[in-house]
Structure 1
């Protein structure tokens, strides 16, 4: 039976010091521990421990370095959340546009277009819940105006209420005979539907980590995205082995690959590099970063892939 009692902040500090963690008055440990839980910070000092059973620290382990790791990770999540927002809006736009034109505005309710009916039922149930509680005036006005229409509002209204994860599942669940599935994949440089679902799943998982303020630094990530053997756009020469896919680096590469099409001339490379410069105590290997990753064709500042979207490609919001 678990019997540990809660420690006061002063007791937490005393315990860390007794285990060998260097804490100075300048570190403001009491302030940090009153705003960031001991348990959360423990994910960052774990690698500094020499004895993982007794929780004793390696020589010269510093509380200041723990806070630096925490801040690096926090700023990394903010950066990635910004990148993923652009990808999410792009994916939503492409799915609404292409599938609404190939079929109609209610394609996402058409069970004949999807491989797994039970998965679609779950997706639609979640969508119905989102729509029922939304404050969005567009949705409320549509339901009021068309109260005799028992269908969902059209795709360009309904799918604005969905998460990246739901969009990813909708796309992956489409039958491979749906033409738009390949069209969308090609517009992201993924050639065909074989590869893009795993990319979207990877990005969705990372988005969830970011949204819940979970650690990305030194984390083993689930899932192994499928990589193109010969990508049509700028990619990396030094491709990690499958065994290294649990690290963040390959997932960052996929985000950058798609972002170069969604937002040509983006500053993802510079911002990521600035983070490592700002926090020199962060070991890039903990993210699986390759040596000289900045010089890879994908990450080069000279990359300027043209966007595949044309202006005015969304159905009228009526």
Structure 2
């Protein structure tokens, strides 16, 4: 299998694609894409247009489903359009994640801070059983100890900020939780939520989502995973998710349709639905769902792929209350 190695010139990369059956109608534009996006990243968007493996051909890996050659009529512009759509999707999801993340910082700091101003640094203010769970990557250490060590390191790197230096000097190198949450990465914040007592989790999740703390904790893990994909500019539009949402509870009626869609919770539609549900609860005036629907309407309609077949969007999704309000 040929990959288009870095030592190949742009002309050689284009010739390789053309030899495999990918039509290039605009050579200057194709050159700019390969130069600024890169052959390997571009190949991920061209992959859906390759020929399926012929019957009887043994795949080289467990995830190889297509041959090197492209289907008849496949064009460079098809993959270029998918790349542009995916970029817009990532930016829109990051916009929604910002809304969720800022609200989560406020709610965690309020409810945990009401218990203890330094509750994030005290097992007694968290759930001891959750804190004591073994850390999968650090045998012999608890999840909370690993989290706290990383948070302290992160705080030390942030000490150049004046407001951090003020609190470090005033509180003997300890930040109260309402300041600490402002310097945490989303992953650190989600893990802190996971250490909170069931009662405190429920207070936060009631304010933000109206579901149980356990359900909300799972949603947050998935949102953080997708946020990281977006932040690292990874392909998102047709990805099968490593972290999946659980079954939707009855007290989230706007999302119950996910339970009826086979394999829906491993596709990006499910994440879009959940972040729409949350942004509606936090900042309905953002109309995030309408903006997503407008983006999906701009999905390149001439391509042999579609949101319904490749992103998990169910047939007839537009009139659902989640998207039509």
TM-score by length of 1: 0.86
Deviation of 1:92 after TM superposition, in Å, equals 0.7
Q: 2:316 aligns with which of 292, 303, 309?
A: 292
Is the 2:247–2:259 Cα contact (8 Å) retained in structure 1?
no
Deviation of 1:40 after TM superposition, in Å, equals 0.2
- Where 1:166 maps in the other structure, the secondary structure is helix
1:60 to 1:198, Cα distance in 2 relative to 1, 3 A: same
**Unpaired segments of 5 or more residues in structure 2?**
54-65, 133-141
Equivalence map 1:256-267=2 (5 Å): 256-267=276-287
Root-mean-square deviation (Å)? 2.2
Is the 1:235–1:296 Cα contact (8 Å) retained in structure 2?
no
Deviation of 1:240 after TM superposition, in Å, equals 4.4
Q: 1:105 aligns with which of 90, 95, 117?
A: 117
User: Paired residue for 1:201?
Assistant: 221
Q: List structure 1 segments (4+ residues) > 6 angstroms apart after TM superposition.
A: none
User: Paired residue for 2:61?
Assistant: none
Deviation of 1:37 after TM superposition, in Å, equals 0.6
User: Paired residue for 2:46?
Assistant: 45
Matched, 1:158 2:180: yes
- Where 1:245 maps in the other structure, the secondary structure is helix
1:238 to 1:100, Cα distance in 2 relative to 1, 3 A: closer
Q: Distance in 2 between matches of 1:180 and 1:187?
A: 11
Is the 1:94–1:184 Cα contact (8 Å) retained in structure 2?
yes
Q: 2:95 aligns with which of 64, 82, 85?
A: 82
The structure showing larger relative contact order (alpha-carbon pairs under 8 Å, at least 6 residues apart) is 1
Is the 1:86–1:262 Cα contact (8 Å) retained in structure 2?
yes
Q: Distance in 2 between matches of 1:4 and 1:218?
A: 23
Is the 1:172–1:197 Cα contact (8 Å) retained in structure 2?
yes
Deviation of 1:278 after TM superposition, in Å, equals 2.4
Equivalence map 1:232-311=2 (5 Å): 232=252, 234-237=254-257, 239-241=259-261, 243-281=263-301, 283-284=306-307, 285-300=309-324, 302=325
User: Paired residue for 1:116?
Assistant: 131
TM-score by length of 2: 0.84
User: Paired residue for 1:312?
Assistant: none
User: Paired residue for 2:135?
Assistant: none
The count of aligned residue pairs is 294
- Where 1:60 maps in the other structure, the secondary structure is coil
Q: Distance in 2 between matches of 1:123 and 1:225?
A: 23
